[in-house]
Structure formats: structure tokens, C-alpha cells
Amino acid sequence: MTAFLALLGRELRLALRHGGDSFGALLFFFVAGALFPLAIGPAPATLARIAPGIVWVCALLAALLPLDRLFGADYEDGSLDQVLLSGLPASLVALAKAVSHWLVTGVPLLLAAFPLAVMLQLPAPALPALVGGLAMGTAVLSLLGTACAAIVLGARRGGVLLPVLVLPLTTPVLIFGAAAADAASAGLPVRPHLLLLGAYLAACLPLCPVAAGAALRAAAD
């Protein structure tokens, strides 16, 4: 437990020192979201209809940005070897990375989703459903992203491969997350969608770190 917290603390400290990475993801989220009204037209009825989808797609894409460097820097400078030798199981190393990715990228995106959704004319009653879904969705994305980032580690052009690997796996999240916000704006029950999202998170929580840990071991080999 000490080793896990020590690693998490180190990751967060590094993220704070190199704040540009997570801030870049946040800016990308805003800029990408702001492009839609320009392309589609600013009619409030149209925007309100597609706002949940826009927020969700932009959040997924923004959370992808820092994944490339999640293990890449540690792999190149030898830190990954040191962390794997610390006695902490490789799967817990991966879990610490996923938690730090969520805290550094997921949580800021969650907060930034409020202003973006309001800007896109999302009806106020749909906001809690959107953000509640995003809270679980970004956590799933951090877990899946960590596993895929570990898998492409050491591969040439891994940065290109990564989105191709991660995005198809996140389709359930996108479908149920956007559906929850849609249901809320239509006055329908939100619970089933959020429960399905929770189920996906519950499946990813144990599976992704194990897969990522095995991939890290293979990459160090």
C-alpha cells in the first residue's frame, strides 16, 4: 500500500510539474466542442439535441491525448524498470497510472463539461445525468487507455495505433453515456443507462490493470 501511494504521489507530482499536458487536453476539449456550433449552425434547438453527443465525443478524444506519454516517458528513461523492481506488482503499477490519469485528466474534463454543455444549450435537467455519466465514463477510459497504452508500449508508431485500439472499446461508454443525457432531456428514466455504465466500469476495474500489468512485463522483457 505504501508503494502504491508513493507511486501515485510521484505521478501526481510529475503531472503538476508538467502541467501543460493535462491543460492541453482541457483546451482541446473546449476548442473541439466550440467548433460544432460553427459547423452545424447556432440554432439552439439543433444544438440542444446533439449537445450530449458532442460533449461525450470531445471528452473521449481529449482524454486520449495524454495516453501516448503515459508509459512512454518512463519506458524511455528507464523509470519503468525501476518501478517494476520496487516490489509493487505490475498490475498495481498500472492501476496507479490509471488513477493518476483520471485525477489529472478525467476530473478536469468533468468540471469543464459544465460550461461546454451550457454553451451548447443542453437543457438544465440533463446536466446531472451528463456529468454523472461522464464521471464513470472518464474512469472507464482511463482504465482502458492505460491497458492499451501498455500494450502498444515499445511498438513503433504506437501513438497512431493507440486511438485505433482504445476508441472501439469505448463505444459502450459513449452509447450509454450519451443516451443517459438524452433520456434526461426527454424526461425519461436515466437509471438504466447509468447502471449499464456502472457495470462496464465494474468489469474494467479488475480486468484492465491485470491486462496492463502483463503488457508492462512484456514491454520490459
Binding site for other proteins (CB under 8 A): 2-3, 6-7, 10, 13-14, 17-18, 76-79, 81-88, 220-221
The sign of the CA dihedral 169, 174, 132, 17 is positive
CA dihedral 119, 125, 128, 131 (to 10 degrees): -30
Give the nearest distance from C-beta 46 to other proteins in angstroms: 45
179: helix, strand or coil: helix
80 or 126: CB nearest other proteins: 80
Give the nearest distance from C-beta 8 to other proteins in angstroms: 10
2 or 41: CB nearest other proteins: 2
Give the nearest distance from C-beta 70 to other proteins in angstroms: 14
104: burial class by Cβ within 10 Å (0-12, 13-18, 19+)?
A: buried
41 or 87: CB nearest other proteins: 87
User: Can you tell me the distance from the alpha carbon of 173 to that of 195, in angstroms, rounded to the nearest whole number?
Assistant: 11
6 or 127: CB nearest other proteins: 6
220: burial class by Cβ within 10 Å (0-12, 13-18, 19+)?
A: middle
- Please provide the DSSP assignment of 134-165 as one string: HHHHHHHHHHHHHHHHHHTTT-TTHHHHHHHH
Radius of gyration of the chain (CA): 18
Give the nearest distance from C-beta 85 to other proteins in angstroms: 6
What letter would DSSP give residue 125? G
86 or 171: CB nearest other proteins: 86
Residue found under cell 500500500: 1
18 or 49: CB nearest other proteins: 18
